[in-house]
């Protein structure tokens, strides 16, 4: 069954079928796309439609939005949920894409299960597991911490401001339909990041190719973080999308260019599922 839903002016088709009902061709590349503050369908629907003949994209929202939230929820909950989803889909190995908070979780999963990753795409990860990579990162983390202390009704807008370039007019920050609906989930997700660290040695030895797209109009912290990751991950490259903000993720606003970059990335590794 297909259901149409509108997200901030973008009409998307969301699949309600089970994996058993979807014909998975061995010629299709296995891909899991992790959402963020925004619903996964909002970020990846165009990508899913345009790549359906060559890739099997599974879109996943974060466990932090589950109701009720697991009492032991943490970063481990997100990582193990991806592992279960990959097993359910029949993916022994996969290409993993994550955006914002989903990029952080994709990075954590990739470091926990490097043997399952064919390639990794991190679109402006909101957290990179290292708290002391410079003053820009420290100031950014503090700003997001403050946003998370605000009432739920104010939290989403403050979070988007924290991820926007300095000097951004607050009135220009969009307020998509999903922003208030999902604001309560921001706190547990961010707290799970702040309570965790990632193993620097695992980052330095990560074997798969990594693509790091960054918006030229996002907060400069995202460029700093991407270049730090690129200097640490052995097989990685940064790609600047000059006209993009953090909310205007490449899969949404520059889909064709982003698909071309994915194809080049995927071509670096043998096709394995």
pLDDT exceeds cutoff 60 at 135: yes
Q: Which structure tokens are listed for 233? A: 């991950």
Confidence of residue 269 (pLDDT cuts 50, 70, 90): confident
For the residues of 118-181, what is the DSSP string, one character each? EEEEEES-S--S-S-S-HHHHHHHHHHHHHHTS-HHHHHHHHHHHTBPTT--GGGS---HHHHH
Residue 132 pLDDT: 63
For the residues of 241-271, what is the DSSP string, one character each? ETT--SSS-HHHHSHHHHHHHHHHHHTTS--
- The DSSP letter of residue 59 is E
The string of pLDDT tens digits covering residues 167-210 is 999 998 888 888 888 998 999 999 999 999 999 999 999 999 99
Lowest model confidence (mean pLDDT) among 51-60, 209-218, 242-251, 264-273: 264-273
CA atoms within 13 A on the CB side of 183: 20
Confidence of residue 106 (pLDDT cuts 50, 70, 90): very high
Q: Are the C-beta atoms of residues 234 and 205 closer than 8 Å to each other?
A: yes
Residue 15 pLDDT: 39
The string of pLDDT tens digits covering residues 115-129 is 999 999 999 999 999
Domains and CATH numbers, the chain: 2-266 (3.40.50.1820)
More confident residue, 28 or 233: 233
Residue 180 pLDDT: 86
Cα–Cα distance measured from residue 123 to residue 270, given in angstroms and rounded to the nearest whole number: 23
Mean pLDDT of the chain: 88
- The DSSP letter of residue 92 is S
From the CA atom positions of the chain, what is the Rg in Å?
17
b/e burial code for range 258-273 (CB count within 10 A of at least 16 → b) = bbebbeebbeebeeeb
């Amino acid at each position: 069954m297909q259901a149409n839903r509108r997200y901030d002016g973008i009409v998307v088709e969301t699949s309600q079928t089970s994996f058993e009902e979807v014909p998975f061709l061995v010629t299709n590349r296995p891909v899991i796309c992790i959402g963020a503050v925004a619903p996964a369908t909002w970020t990846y629907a165009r990508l899913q439609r345009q790549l359906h003949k060559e890739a099997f994209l599974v879109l996943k929202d974060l466990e932090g939005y589950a109701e009720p939230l697991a009492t032991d929820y943490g970063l481990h909950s997100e990582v193990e949920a991806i592992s279960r989803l990959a097993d359910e889909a029949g993916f022994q190995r996969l290409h993993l894409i994550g955006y914002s908070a989903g990029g952080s979780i994709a990075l954590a999963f990739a470091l926990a299960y490097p043997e399952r990753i064919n390639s990794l795409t991190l679109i402006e990860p909101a957290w990179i597991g290292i708290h002391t990579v410079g003053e820009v990162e420290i100031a950014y983390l503090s700003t997001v911490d403050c946003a998370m202390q605000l009432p739920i009704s104010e939290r989403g807008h403050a979070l988007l401001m924290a991820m926007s370039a300095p000097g951004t007019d607050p009135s220009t920050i969009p307020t998509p339909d999903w922003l208030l609906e999902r604001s309560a989930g921001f706190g547990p997700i961010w707290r799970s990041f702040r309570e965790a660290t990632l193993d620097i040695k695992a980052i330095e030895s990560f074997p798969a190719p990594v693509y790091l797209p960054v918006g030229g109009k996002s907060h400069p912290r995202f460029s700093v973080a991407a270049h730090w990751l690129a200097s640490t991950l052995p097989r990685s490259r940064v790609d600047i999308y000059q006209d993009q903000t953090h909310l205007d993720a490449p899969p949404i606003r520059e889909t064709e260019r982003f698909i071309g970059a994915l194809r080049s990335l995927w071509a670096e590794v043998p096709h394995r599922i």
